[in-house]
Amino acid sequence: MKSFALLTKFLNTFELNHKDQPEFFQSVQEFFSSILPFLYDHSKYQDISLLKRLTEPERIIQFRVCWIDDSGKTQINTGWRVQFNSSIGPFKGGIRFHESVNISVLKFLGFEQTFKNALTNFPIGGGKGGSNFSIKKKSKVEIERFCQSFILNSYKYLGANTDIPAGDIGVGYSEIDLMAGMMRKICGDSSCVFTGKSLFSSGSQLREESTGYGVIYLTELALNYHHNESINKKKVLISGSGNVAIHAIEKCIQMGARVITASDSDGTVVDLEGFNIEKLNRLKFIKKELNGRIQQYSEEFGLIYLKDKSPWSISADIAIPCATQNEINEVDAEIMIKNNIKIVVEGSNMPVTKKAIQLFQNYDILFIPGKIANSGGVIVSVLEKIQNSTYSVWNKNKVEKEMKKVMKNSYRTSIKYGEEKKKVNYVRGANIASFVKVADAVISQGSI
């Protein structure tokens, strides 16, 4: 009872203090509610000051980002870096450029990242950064000027042993290269501050593919473990058409699965025959080279286009949301349950709402949270860092083998903590495993 009262008190105050930060409150509430039974059994963690230290970022930097557009006008955006928790290693986490970026979104992402990173067992803390800058309809030169200004205004707070950023929505290897280049130029130091660089700039093999490939690897592991089945020949719904979605589709094709949807914020393409490599290459080209939309892709191939709709009403075996936060709510979940979805795997961060997760769990639908499923990206980031700091270059096989080893280990740890009556609650398992890691470090380092 003590832990229940303590947590209720903590969450009520937390909600009051974060009324203007709904995404952050949502992630904190989901996290702590899921580990309540564990807190109940472990008096060591029943300490409100511990919960406060775990939910208050160590530092938040906010800065102005000025850049000159192609017509010569000065444009102004806001940039942030949320350095969430460094108790087990340097802050590590991506940079997101998207119009929806604000402090609530970045605090939720920094909080999630802290525990996702801890689950990998690597000595890395968690952070997140970004700007409310949209790359839509921007020229290559405008993006370059923006990236350079972003670093000019934040380089002081980043460093190879202090805070190591990577990409996220709107930030791929070209943006990372521009930022890493600017960092090197200003500091006159070539150490690895950024991960997610291109191979030209000493990035790692497979870093670009890692998040998407990792999600499918994890889906295969879970299907094997629970149903003794493979993803081969399964019908898959994927949302998004950015880096994670594209590489998840690619891996599905390689493994013989049929991906029948992809999407962006304007709508969904439905292709009942499924993606093949030619179609996927064209989608990559439209997105990357033409900065284009899914509608253009669907028109080129004469496919069904659902304007302003997500993929979740289409019947399939597997759903893998790879777009953004809160893209599956309880209404979507009910339809998916009716359509007999077998497994839901989070490719993006917090794409499924708490109510929707509860529904999936009530109906015994296998649900794998992003902390386990989408950690391939940050894992290969660490492998990139290891290669850079030891002046070595690994081949694809070695990177893939190492990534799979780490993911399998996180998966097993989540089973260990999440097994209940012959079922596995992966949300609970991943959250407890990572909580223990971060909380023990915070406790052992004292009140700092």
Instruction: Closer to ligand GLU by CB, 168 or 271: give it.
Output: 168
Do the strands 343-345 and 318-321 form a parallel or antiparallel pair, or are they unpaired? parallel
Query: Nearest approach, Cβ of 349 to ligand GLU (angstroms)?
Result: 6
- Say whether residue 437 binds ligand GLU (CB under 6 A): no
Q: Which amino acid is at 404?
A: K
Binding segment toward ligand GLU, per CB under 6 A, in 18-26, 90-98, 229-237, 431-439 = 90-98
Q: Alpha helices, DSSP H only, in 89-191?
A: 103-119, 140-152, 173-187
128 noted as active-site residue: yes
- Of 2, 44, 128, 422, the active-site residue reads 128
Q: Which is nearer to ligand GLU, 244 or 294 (CB)?
A: 244
Q: What string marks each residue from 361 to 400 as x (binds ligand GLU by CB under 6 A) or -? A: ----------------xx--x-------------------
Q: How far apart are CA 268 and CA 245, in angstroms?
A: 13
52 assigned ligand-binding residue: no
Binder of ligand GLU out of 55, 83, 131, 195 (CB under 6 A): 195
> Quick check: 94 binds ligand GLU (CB under 6 A)?
yes
Distances (CA, A) of 429 to 165, 368, 369: 27, 10, 10
Beta-carbon neighbour count of residue 24 at 10 Å? 25
Interaction pattern, residues 12-41, with ligand GLU; x per rule: CB under 6 A:
------------------------------
Q: Give the count of alpha carbons within 13 A of 69, CB side only.
A: 11
- What span, in angstroms and rounded, lies between the C-alpha atoms of 357 and 247? 25
Taking alpha carbons only, the member of 107, 96, 110 closest to residue 163 is 110
Does position 90 bind ligand GLU by CB under 6 A? no
Asked if residue 106 lies in contact with residue 82, where contact means CB atoms within 8 angstroms, the answer is yes
* Binding-site member from 23, 30, 163, 168 for ligand GLU (CB under 6 A): 168
Cβ neighbours for 30, distance < 8 A, ≥ 6 positions apart: 350, 354, 357, 427
CB of 304 to ligand GLU, least distance (A): 31
Residues of this chain that bind ligand GLU (CB under 6 A): 92-94, 166, 168, 195-196, 349, 377-378, 381
Numbered residues of the known binding site for NAD(+): 211, 243
- The residues assigned a catalytic role are 128
Numbered residues of the known binding site for substrate: 92, 113, 116, 167, 381
